Amino acid sequence: MEYVIYIIIAYLLGSIPSGLLVGKLGFGIDIREHGSGNLGGTNTFRVLGIKAGLLVTSADMLKGTFATALPFIMGADIITLVIGIFAVIGHMYPLFAGFKGGKAVATSGGVILGINPLIFIIMLATFFLVLYISKYVSLSSMITGIVSVVVSILFQDYGLTILIALFTLFVIYRHLANIKRIINKTEPKITWM
């Protein structure tokens, strides 16, 4: 029963549509009607600018971190890896935004931050290095996932390896359209780095 309670909480936390809230409350627009139509940080950066993008990305990440840390904070004897997955699912298929959410990169990172901060730092460094070289947020997200799987294997944390592998598969699946655009050279590049 304890698992069910934390799974529901994690899903509901993940379902908080940060991009939608920032767009509507701060700018009076529905972010889903602009740019790529995605609720995540990348589309927010493109449509609303750096400050809004940072706010949404940070909020999306903290959803994952808080959902993962909550059982530990409450002293619950459960495997937090499992709980983190439901925060990510909530972000991708949010109850509060018609089940059409973001691509779960920031929320997945937040879950990993809550479980292993060192791997998260390596992920962050990888993401920004690839972003600096390629200028593609989507490509940076996918490569970061793959590198993170390898790093978690080196850390011999096999439970986390499975979790990161699942997150990476989620991220790649959610970026299939981006992969086609990268191949066709129509994927937008960032201009701020």
Mean pLDDT of 51-78: 93
8 occurs within a structural domain: yes
- On whether the CB atoms of residues 107 and 171 are closer than 8 A, the answer is no
Q: Residue type at 10?
A: A
Nearest to 94 by CA among 40, 22, 145, 51: 40
188 occurs within a structural domain: no
Mean pLDDT of 44-52: 91
Tokens matching residue 185 = 């050279």
pLDDT of residue 35: 87
Expressed as residue numbers, the domain containing 119 is: 2-183
pLDDT of residue 17: 96
Total of domains in the chain = 1
